[in-house]
Chains A and B, each alone.
Chain A
Amino acid sequence: MKHTNDVILETVTSVITFIIFLFAVHLFFAGHYTPGGGFVGGLMTSAALVLVLLAFDLKTLRTILPFDYKWITTLGLLISVLTASGALLFNVPFFTHAYDYFDLPLFGKTSLHTAMLFDLGVYLVVVGVTMTIIQTIGESD
Chain B
Amino acid sequence: MEIIMAIAAGVLVTCAVYLILSKSILRIIIGTGLLSHAAHLLVMVMGGLKTGDAPVIKDGVTAYTDPLPQALVLTAIVISFGVTAFFLVLAYRAYQELGTDNIEEMKGNDSYD
Query: Is B78 an interface residue when CB atoms closer than 8 A count as contact?
Result: yes
Q: Is the CB of A39 within 8 A of B56?
A: no
For residues 37 through 64 of chain B, which have their beta carbon under 8 Å from a beta carbon of chain A? 54, 56-57
Contacts of A108 in B (CB 8 A): none
User: With A39-B74, A39-B78, A126-B78 in contact, is A34–B85 under 8 Å at CB?
Assistant: no
A129→B89 contact, CB < 8 A? no
8 closest A-B pairs by beta carbon, nearest first, are A133-B85, A39-B78, A34-B56, A39-B74, A137-B89, A35-B56, A129-B82, A126-B78
* C-alpha gap A126/B78 in the complex (Å): 9
Within 8 A of B (CB), among A4-39: 33-35, 39
Task: Scan B88-108; emit 1 where CB is below 8 A from any A CB, else 0.
Answer: 110010000000000000000
Q: Which of the four size classes fits the interface of chain A?
A: 10 to 19
Which positions 106-141 of chain A face chain B at CB distance < 8 Å? 126, 129, 133, 136-137, 140
Docked-complex contact A33 and B56, CB < 8 angstroms: yes
Per the bound structure, the CA–CA distance linking A133 and B85 in Å amounts to: 7
CB-CB under 8 A from A129, the residues of chain B are: 82
Residues of A within 8 A of B56 (CB): 33-35
- On chain A, the residues within 8 Å of B54 by CB distance are 35
A43 CA / B74 CA spacing, docked (Å) = 12
A selection of 17 A-B contacts at a CB cut-off of 8 Å is: A33-B56, A33-B57, A34-B56, A35-B54, A35-B56, A39-B74, A39-B78, A43-B78, A126-B78, A129-B82, A133-B85, A133-B89, A136-B89, A137-B88, A137-B89, A137-B92, A140-B92
Residues of B within 8 A of A43 (CB): 78
Contacts of B85 in A (CB 8 A): 133
**Residues 64-84 of chain A: 1 if any B CB is under 8 Å from the residue's CB, otherwise 0?**
000000000000000000000
